Amino acid sequence: MTEIKKFPIPSAEQENIEESLGLVWHCREKGICEKEAVSSSLEKSVNPLAYGKLIQKGLTQESGSHLDLTARGEELAKGVIRRHRLAERLLSDVLSLDKNAIDPNACQLEHIISMEVTESICTLLGHPVECPHGSSIPPGDCCKREQKQLDPIVVSVDKMSAGDEGKIAYLRLQAHPELHKLLSLGLVPGTIIHLHQTYPTFVLELGETQLAMEEDVARNIYVRKGKK
Amino acid sequence: MSDKNRVSKTIALVGNPNVGKSVIFNHLTGDYMTVSNYPGTTVDVSQGMAWISGESYQVVDTPGVNALIPYSEDEKVTRDLLLKDTPDVVVNVLDAKNLQRALMLTLELIEYRIPMVLALNMMDEALDRGISIDMKRLSALLGVPVVSTVAVTGEGLADLKRAVNQACVPSLQVPLTEDIVRSLNVFRGFWKKDFSAHQAVALALLSGDSSVAFGMQDHLSEGVSLQDVWKEAEKTQAEFVRSPRQLIFNARKALAAETLADIMTVQGKMSFSWLGRVGHWTMNPWPGFFIAGIVLYAVYQFVGVFGAGILVDFFEEDVFGEYLIPAARVFFDSFVPWTFLHDMFVGPYGVISMALTYAFALILPIVTTFFMAFGLLEDSGYLPRLSVMLDRAFRLIGLNGRSIIPLMLGLGCSTMGTVTTRILDTKKEKLIVTILLSLSVPCSAQMAVIFGMTAGLSVKLLLGWLLVVVGTTLFVGWLCSRLLPGARSSFLLEIPPIRLPLLKNVYAKMKARLKWYIWEVVPLFVLGTLILFFLDKLRLLDMIEKMAAPVVQTFLGLPGDATQAFLIGFLRRDYGAAGLFQLQKQGALDLHQVMVSLVLISLFMPCIAQLFMVFKERGWKWTAVIVAFVLTFAIGIAGLVNGVLKLFPGIL
């Protein structure tokens, strides 16, 4: 499905194209599709020629006042966004990099990670669906297969078994309006939790607080597993 | 409370759920508010007076909150109280063994700029866990008095009273990021200079809680409208890359962690506690369901067998039957020659022979035992654990395990249950529980009579009744979950620790509930009896019976006399049931008819008090819909049972 990336090191032109595709995707997520708006952000963030380049390469096309991704452009853009956001997750959750260092490094990584590495990272992180900023990560083939050969470091609570312990890596607060309650109940990143049971409902213990929750709440809590 | 000419100062008790605010309230005021070991016992503000160092204070108990950005109605109640009725002093009650979380709320509270006192409650449990807290340091950091209390035993409450006089506006400030501070300054301009909670309001707005500004017009500067405020909030939110809510939260979290590290030390590992072990057992399928079975059986033995059997027999047959009623008859026979007045008290529809006998001999013993058993369950912390066990079953009817709390309370009294629907998250869930409470969940008083009627009859009958009522509950719940708009919410509930209930507190709670019960029930019973009495004297009772005959006699196959039981059933279901009980005792009902009438009275109209509550909580439209539905549905199901019994006469 996902187009195979050329390796090893992409040329500056390829990098610019990937950068531009990522930006178009990002604009679309924010609901911006107008030609003028897209072209001006491309001009600002990449270079003045980027807009024309995309069309020339057949990655985007103008339709009326809008700029759309072509099927091929869509495929490539999805890959770039996926690699960028997975890289962010890796840098923040596993490598615990400083906040300011995450974005520039992710920008570099997105151009050089191969598909195999992308899938490994994705599996390692437990097939995350959101980047640390809450934007969604397009799923890859590995997510569909839910590969589990690599024991993931960060897992969602619903995949843990009773008796497991771990430290909360992040919560997917955007997934559910009620999840904000978790924060005020003390379930915040960095908290050490103990999963007491998984049936009939999940019961988590954090310090002196015991919380019972259903699977669809537990699914949105990601934990870096510790020793048993 | 916001009147300018109020005489006494107000104190508001604010804190996380289940930290003991109501216990402290009871101590300060000498009043009694229901106290239990689960979050969400207090759903509304309650008030009482207290004398503290020679000054009178109005004390306000608030529903527990985890944050002041409200996610549920009871949380909104607390937020609005702080903002709109601005108390003179806030007593922030904290769970000393769970300080990290408590401090998060404290840091939110300090933004309201109200003089504060901190009460570190449950200090005994904290000490048991090897937690020691440097209260002087905490007091210095926050700039407000800090006291430690063990509210259930009254320890430290004298200190708390003394501290109230020294309450002051916290000096601590949460260090916020530059961009947040910048937008706070913009918001500052919108409000009058003397509006002290401006920062709390601005932070809430930045966090996306636009409801906070409702009713705040009076505090706006000249020429500023609420629209301007909302527009600015929306604009600012859009400008931030990371959500301001997250940034504010992170700032508080960092400060709370820092403060905690500064003031708290934990020594030693937690020792093994068998209460904790029991707490875990009750939530695992094994032995959780087994324990649930034992608990239910014990409650049945205590309430159904001891209360409804032994105690009722004693009071009804011996106390009332042998002594009180004959004595009253003798008295009225000899001193009240006027038949009308004589019958009004000791006739077939007499206030003494009917209303008081029903209320005190039949129903009081059963509600007393029920409230006692229920109080023990509540204070032990078992109920939330039961909701863990039953969550999956509740999903089938569009609810989650949390609904067990209003439903179980509804077994005590459906009116109380209806109020407690406020702890539920979505409108749909509130509505489903309200409907079930109105339709099929019998209250303890009603169950009392039902147990009484079935006692000594066939077990099949009790099981058949149970089957119909439980089946109806599930069916209607399932139907509502399909038909009503909206969604169910996911189950998320804090489980309190298992505690050994203090008998003194269980007793106090039972006494308060009984007092309330007697005040509510007895007048209604007397009223109902008088209505029947006059209808009978005016010969209207026969007329009504004739009018209802097609339904009662033909469709339901019941004797005409049963009509009066259902008539008073409009006042209270248990009273209607008591009427049936009497009919049965006179031999006017066969097994088949007992079954049909029990099903009908179980599903019948909610009592008047509950109807008022439904009206208050859900509005008149839903009340009308519920009444129409319940009435037709109850009669329909009873008719169906009648039909089935006619087809298979040998079934009972």
The verdict on B191 and B149 lying in the same domain is no
Alpha helices (H) along B413-489: 414-420, 427-439, 444-454, 459-483
The verdict on A142 and A35 lying in the same domain is yes
Task: Give the separation between CA B433 and CA B399, rounded to whole angstroms.
Answer: 8
Query: Among A152, A176, A204, which residue terminates a domain?
Result: A152
Which of residues B452 and B595 earns the better pLDDT score?
Answer: B595
Per the CB < 8 A criterion, the answer to whether B453 and B371 are in contact is no
Task: Give the separation between CA B310 and CA B308, rounded to whole angstroms.
Answer: 6
Which residues have C-beta within 8 Å of that of residue B313, sequence separation ≥ 6? none
What six digits make up the tokens of A221?
Answer: 């809590």
The verdict on B261 and B367 lying in the same domain is no
Number of folded domains that form chain A = 2
Query: Among B237, B266, B295, which residue terminates a domain?
Result: B266
The verdict on A128 and A220 lying in the same domain is no
The verdict on A136 and A165 lying in the same domain is no
The verdict on A198 and A121 lying in the same domain is no
3-state secondary structure of B459: helix
Query: Among A121, A152, A183, which residue terminates a domain?
Result: A152
**B492:A176 CB<8 A:** no
CATH of the domain at B229: 1.10.287.1770
Sign of CA dihedral B573, B579, B584, B590: negative
Number of folded domains that form chain B = 3
**A200:B285 CB<8 A:** yes
> Chain B contacts of A184, Cβ < 8 Å?
66-67, 104-105
Looking at the predicted structure, is the pLDDT value of residue B475 above 90? Answer: yes
Backbone torsions φ then ψ of B52, nearest 5 degrees:
-130, 120
Query: Which candidate in B131, B269, B282, B490 is best for mutational testing of the A interface (most A CBs within 10 A)?
Result: B490
Which residues have C-beta within 8 Å of that of residue A110, sequence separation ≥ 6? A18, A22, A80, A83, A84, A87
The verdict on B116 and B222 lying in the same domain is no
The verdict on A113 and A170 lying in the same domain is no
Which residues have C-beta within 8 Å of that of residue B74, sequence separation ≥ 6? B40, B42, B43, B44, B63, B64, B65, B422, B423
Assess if residue B492 is contained within a domain.
yes
Query: Which candidate in A131, A209, A221 is best for mutational testing of the B interface (most B CBs within 10 A)?
Result: A209
What six digits make up the tokens of B242?
Answer: 């990371």
The verdict on A12 and A115 lying in the same domain is yes
Q: What is the DSSP letter of B191?
A: B
What mean pLDDT comes out for the span B247-264?
A: 90
The verdict on A198 and A98 lying in the same domain is no
Give residue A209's pLDDT.
85
Assess if residue B277 is contained within a domain.
no
> Chain A contacts of B253, Cβ < 8 Å?
188
Domain that holds residue B256: 178-266
Per the CB < 8 A criterion, the answer to whether B431 and B480 are in contact is yes
The verdict on B387 and B445 lying in the same domain is yes
3-state secondary structure of B455: coil
Alpha carbon of A221: minimum distance to chain B alpha carbons (Å): 13
3-state secondary structure of B650: helix
Task: Give the separation between CA B234 and CA B213, rounded to whole angstroms.
Answer: 13
| Amino acid found at B264 | M
Task: Give the separation between CA B506 and CA B267, rounded to whole angstroms.
Answer: 34
Per the CB < 8 A criterion, the answer to whether B256 and B104 are in contact is yes
Cα angle B242-B247-B252, degrees, rounded to a multiple of 5: 165
Alpha helices (H) along A30-98: 35-45, 50-56, 71-89
Domain that holds residue A11: 1-152
What mean pLDDT comes out for the span B76-81?
A: 88
Q: What is the interface size between A and B, counted as CB pairs within 8 Å?
A: 93
Query: Among A118, A152, A186, which residue terminates a domain?
Result: A152
Chain A stretch 148-207, residues whose beta carbon is closer than 8 A to a beta carbon of chain B: 176, 178, 180-186, 188, 196-197, 199-201, 203, 207
**B492:A208 CB<8 A:** no
Q: Which residue of A has its CA nearest to B392?
A: A200
The verdict on B431 and B578 lying in the same domain is yes
The verdict on B468 and B442 lying in the same domain is yes
pTM to 2 decimal places? 0.74
**Per residue of chain A (228 residues), what is the pLDDT tens digit?**
444 454 456 677 788 888 888 888 888 888 888 888 888 888 888 888 888 888 888 888 888 888 888 988 898 899 899 999 999 988 888 777 787 888 888 888 888 888 888 888 888 888 888 888 888 888 888 887 765 555 667 889 998 888 888 889 888 877 666 677 888 888 888 888 999 898 889 999 988 888 999 888 898 899 988 654
HSE toward the beta carbon, residue A215, CA cutoff 13 A: 9
| Amino acid found at B275 | L
Interface of B with A (CB under 8 A): 66-67, 69, 71, 95, 97-98, 100-101, 104-105, 129, 241-242, 245, 249, 253, 280, 283-285, 384, 387-392, 400-401, 425, 489-497
CATH of the domain at A178: 2.30.30.90
Please check whether residue A212 touches B, CB under 8 A: yes
The pLDDT > 70 percentage for chain B reads 97
The verdict on B555 and B423 lying in the same domain is yes
ipTM: 0.76
